[in-house]
Amino acid sequence: MTAHVEGPASSALARKFPPIAELVIGSLALVIVGGIYMASKFPRRPPLALPIALLAGSVVLCLVAAGLTARLHDFAWERFRVVFGWALLAYIVQAGMIAYAFVHNNASGAPLVVIALLLVMFALDVPFVIAFTSARYASPPSPTD
């Protein structure tokens, strides 16, 4: 037996969206793999081809997700902005602490730049997916609001 939900909650669940969350999670997965790969090679100078390729793939996936999100109509944009802002603040702090650990352990030059860029993507991906999921299941404002 399945329950049938009526009202705003059912309309929020019934709406179809492009695979935005999946794209951002894919971007996050590439960042995590790149970060783990880089961390596993320290304190030696890591080869940068794989982490740069993973970073590029992550950026492409995140940009595609952002483009798809920007095209959404009937979406709880205010909820998205509020959740994204606060989550971004938290993940900037977290990414900064991770970056500090690499600097403290004498990472420098190109490897530090790649790690920093991977951390920027990390600090964007997680808040993006949290905010999108939160706004996806929120009721969008009515046209009269």
> pLDDT tens, 35-84?
999 989 887 888 999 999 999 999 999 999 999 999 998 899 999 999 99
Cα gap 35→116, rounded to integer Å: 10
Number of separate helices (H) and strands (E) present in the chain:
5, 0
φ and ψ at 119, to 5 degrees?
Answer: -70, -35
Question: Domain limits of the chain?
Answer: 19-136
Residue 25: the pLDDT is 98
Residue corresponding to tokens 């952002």:
66
> pLDDT tens, 122-144?
999 999 999 999 999 998 877 76
Ranking 83-92, 100-109, 123-132 by mean pLDDT, the lowest is 100-109
